Amino acid sequence: MHQKACYQLLKEAPTPDAIASMHMTHLSALLLKASHGHFKKEHAKALRVLARESVGSSDRSLSIQITHAIEQIELLDSQLKTVESEMQSIMLSLDSLIMTIPGIGFVNGGMILGEIGNIKRFSNASKVLAYAGLDPSVYQSGNFVAKRTRMSKRGSKTLRYALINAANNVVRNNDTFKAYYDTKRAEGRNHYNTLGHCAGKLVRVIYKMLTDEVEFNLD
């Protein structure tokens, strides 16, 4: 659904009747160009047959809603690309050591640095973990202490999201983190719980790198 070819088609023909009445040459050319050659003439023919057999609504007000929704999505996509481009420029100018971590890109790196700010604000890595809401909450009652813990989810949601996403990428790009991930999984933890632990390990690595001004080196 969320493809440029679909958007282009629905902006021009937002109802089944409109698609069914389109000239085959025009429909084929529109789909071929918008999909960069993925949708060919046979796809256009099949689509027009489906449109003619469809019981979908051809209400004018619904058509306006569809075209407006697509325009809003395209505007947001454009704004997002602008922001990401600006973040890349900023990260390149900063030349931060965090970019030496395999799997961390400009967006994730920018989000992490932006939320942490000056690393000297934190006296140790545990403070950064707490700020991100990645510190474990232990549930205790009387003499009972839960064997399993979960993230407290306090602190910065943005930093927590960036760290979890970054950890997922680092696991795919570094053998040490992959081995740590596999160990936690072998203990019976689910994927997201394990990523939380990997994110915690990543925070400790980032804290060491930024405070001692050293590049990533766990290979």
Same domain, 121 and 200: yes
Q: Does residue 90 lie in a domain region?
A: no
Could you give the number of structural domains in the chain?
Answer: 2
Same domain, 161 and 74: no
Same domain, 155 and 182: yes
Same domain, 99 and 201: yes
Same domain, 32 and 122: no
State residue 55's pLDDT score.
Answer: 79
Q: What is the pTM of this model?
A: 0.72
Query: Is 214 in contact with 145 (CB distance < 8 Å)?
Result: no
Domain end, chosen from 22, 54, 83, is at 83
Q: Does residue 219 lie in a domain region?
A: no
In terms of Cβ atoms closer than 10 Å to its own Cβ (0-12, 13-18, 19+), residue 118 is: exposed
Q: Residue 51 sits in which domain range?
A: 3-83
Task: Count the neighbouring beta carbons within 10 Å of the beta carbon of residue 114.
Answer: 15
User: Residue 219 — pLDDT band, cuts 50, 70, 90?
Assistant: low
Same domain, 41 and 76: yes
Q: What is the pLDDT of residues 65-87, one digit of tens each?
A: 999 999 999 999 999 999 999 99
Q: Does residue 9 lie in a domain region?
A: yes
Q: What is the pLDDT of residues 52-61, one digit of tens each?
A: 988 777 788 8
User: Residue 143 — pLDDT band, cuts 50, 70, 90?
Assistant: very low
Domain end, chosen from 83, 110, 127, is at 83
DSSP secondary structure letter of residue 104: -
The C-alpha atoms of residue 40 and residue 29 are separated, in whole angstroms, by 8
Same domain, 7 and 106: no
142 pLDDT exceeds 70? Answer: no
Q: Does residue 167 lie in a domain region?
A: yes
State residue 195's pLDDT score.
Answer: 93
Q: What is the pLDDT of residues 153-177, one digit of tens each?
A: 677 899 999 999 999 999 999 999 9
217 pLDDT exceeds 70? Answer: yes
